[in-house]
Structure 1
Amino acid sequence: MPATPRPQPALAPQRRHQLLALLQRLGLDPTAAGGPGDGPEALALIDEALTHTSAGLAHHHDRLEFLGDAVLRLAAAEYLQRQHPNLSVGQCSALRAQLVSDRWLADLAERCGLADVVRIGAMAEGDLAGRRTVLAETCEALIGGLYDSWGGSLVPVHLWLDSHWRQTTAELLADPDQHNWKSALQEWSQGQGLGLPVYRCLERNRRHADPRRFHCRVSLPATHEAKPVAQPLGEGWGGSRREAEQQAARAALEHIRQQPS
């Protein structure tokens, strides 16, 4: 059931036109059947979703982000059930994790130009590392705002996201590891009786937006003359430890698969 409407601040004509242009880019028509309309009051939740807490305004994205998190997961599950009914539950779960990840949401927000319409505080705007986090959060809030504005319907969410999910899902299904190289390496190493991969990450600098901030090497514990010996397999860089570990695991898998069988 949609949330009880709350008093909203007046929406300036320029802001209204900005929000309508965004909805048009997303392939949504608020005046279509089931939509909220295109008046200032009808667009209030969209405006709230695109107002980050850092802006210091009374109405901000937090509440709708909480709602959008649940809506996003439900819509992604519904999409996978409809478009890929033959996949196992485990496969669907792994795919959904990618389709609702913060990285995917931030990429989506950048593709759709959300940065141009998000209200954000000056300090947050200057934080390059936090920029993608803000985009992911407001993207999720926008999903909640669309769901709420359309009367608790997933229709606008699917109209916006399905084509993006279709592209991402095709890429993931074409990748045998579905971009989760750490899990794939762990499955391989355990299957070979080699134990769990060991990751060693070092922070090379403190620059938040640097994609080479962290460097990681991955090795496998093995036994040689009854003594543990580390076998280095791959290395990678990333803006976060997790990303560096994934890239190291990816390099390790490529190395393994190039070896003669």
Structure 2
Amino acid sequence: MTPQRRRQLLAFLDSLGLGAASGFLPTDPGDAATALATLDEALTHSSTGLHRHHDRLEFLGDAVLRLAAAEFLGRHHPSLSVGDTSSLRAQLVSDRWLNDLAVAIDLEPRLLLGPMAAGDQAGRSTVRAECCEALVGAIYTLGGGAQGGLGVVQRWLSPHWQRSAAELLADPLRHNWKSALQEWSQGQGQGLPTYSCRERSRVHGDPERFECRVLAAGLSGEGRGGSRREAEQQAARAALAALELRPARGC
């Protein structure tokens, strides 16, 4: 590892509140070098072709993230039903949330990318989410793994989750517009909404790769997203927004 990369990683840990003053890194120079190598692995995308890259730690980070989020919700929102907890956790561990976190902590300048990933602007959000999840795995590992790593991850992520959970809980639909539209349509005796989607581009990671239109009990809406599901959610959101603008009967 070059001295410049070492300084960059140390500065990044400082920005996360995991610098020297936190006691996160070992004091022994050899152990500290090993720890920084683990962090470097998490921030090295597989597109570089290097032997050590983010995949292994991303796999670990996925499991850690779900457990940490479940414990966070159990501690801070114990009154939620199991169904609501599951729905909220899905939002707090999603690729979209991980990408938002990566942007908030300014992760991208610390990533090592191969030429293809570096030139693929449409897929950059996916890369950020993947490496952010690998970062979770690295912090868990360096925090002690099964002997304390989960607590370190929770302390780091808790402020971010608190903000996101407050925003989601303030939305009665929890950003799940498809379910809300389905319930409304069935309540009108009109059955299920119908969705028609088309692929606008074949670029992996394009945030507007799919376009969707929904029809439900006289309502319609259109939306775009990086996946069919996201495009359907945005179409349902547009239809519900149109419903809110409808004049009340008798007006």
The equivalent residue for 1:246 is 233
Note closer, same or farther for the CA distance 1:240–1:107 as it changes in structure 2 (3 Å cut).
same
TM-score computed with the length of structure 2 as normaliser: 0.88
Match of 1:48 among 32, 41, 44: 41
Q: Secondary structure at the match of 1:200?
A: strand
Matching of residue 133 in structure 1 with residue 129 in structure 2:
no
Q: In structure 2, what residue type is equivalent to 1:58?
A: H
The equivalent residue for 1:15 is 5
Q: Are the aligned partners of 2:18 and 2:24 in contact in 1 as well (CA < 8 Å)?
A: no
- Between the two proteins, the alignment pairs up a number of residues equal to 242
Distance 2:17 2:185 in 1: 45
- What root-mean-square deviation, in Å, do the aligned CA atoms of Structure 1 and Structure 2 show? 2.1
Q: Are the aligned partners of 1:28 and 1:156 in contact in 2 as well (CA < 8 Å)?
A: no
* Aligned 1:217-256 pairs, distance under 5 A: 217-220=213-216, 231-256=218-243
Q: Are the aligned partners of 1:27 and 1:159 in contact in 2 as well (CA < 8 Å)?
A: no
Q: Are the aligned partners of 2:219 and 2:242 in contact in 1 as well (CA < 8 Å)?
A: no
Which 5+ residue runs of structure 2 have no aligned equivalent? none
Q: Are the aligned partners of 2:123 and 2:206 in contact in 1 as well (CA < 8 Å)?
A: no
Q: Are the aligned partners of 2:122 and 2:207 in contact in 1 as well (CA < 8 Å)?
A: no
* Aligned 1:155-174 pairs, distance under 5 A: 155-174=151-170
Comparing 121-130 with 96-105, which one deviates more in the overlay?
Answer: 121-130
Match of 2:63 among 70, 73, 97: 70
Distance 1:55 1:213 in 2: 25
Note closer, same or farther for the CA distance 1:232–1:200 as it changes in structure 2 (3 Å cut).
farther
The equivalent residue for 2:188 is 192
Q: In structure 2, what residue type is equivalent to 1:195?
A: G
The equivalent residue for 1:183 is 179
Which 5+ residue runs of structure 1 have no aligned equivalent? 1-10, 223-230
Distance 2:20 2:130 in 1: 23
Displacement, 1:58? 1.1
* Aligned 1:53-132 pairs, distance under 5 A: 53-132=46-125
Note closer, same or farther for the CA distance 1:85–1:35 as it changes in structure 2 (3 Å cut).
farther
Distance 2:205 2:76 in 1: 36
Distance 1:66 1:210 in 2: 23
Q: Are the aligned partners of 2:41 and 2:52 in contact in 1 as well (CA < 8 Å)?
A: yes
Q: Are the aligned partners of 2:64 and 2:137 in contact in 1 as well (CA < 8 Å)?
A: yes
Report percent identity of matched pairs: 63
Q: In structure 1, what residue type is equivalent to 2:181?
A: L
Q: Secondary structure at the match of 2:220?
A: strand
Distance 2:140 2:219 in 1: 48
Q: Are the aligned partners of 2:219 and 2:243 in contact in 1 as well (CA < 8 Å)?
A: no
Q: In structure 1, what residue type is equivalent to 2:233?
A: Q
TM-score computed with the length of structure 1 as normaliser: 0.85
Displacement, 1:34? 5.9
Q: Are the aligned partners of 1:128 and 1:208 in contact in 2 as well (CA < 8 Å)?
A: no
Q: Deviations over 1:123-153 (max 9, x none)?
A: 1111122211111111001100110111111
Q: Secondary structure at the match of 2:66?
A: helix
Comparing 88-97 with 158-167, which one deviates more in the overlay?
Answer: 158-167
Q: Secondary structure at the match of 1:42?
A: helix
Distance 1:149 1:209 in 2: 30
Q: In structure 2, what residue type is equivalent to 1:125?
A: A
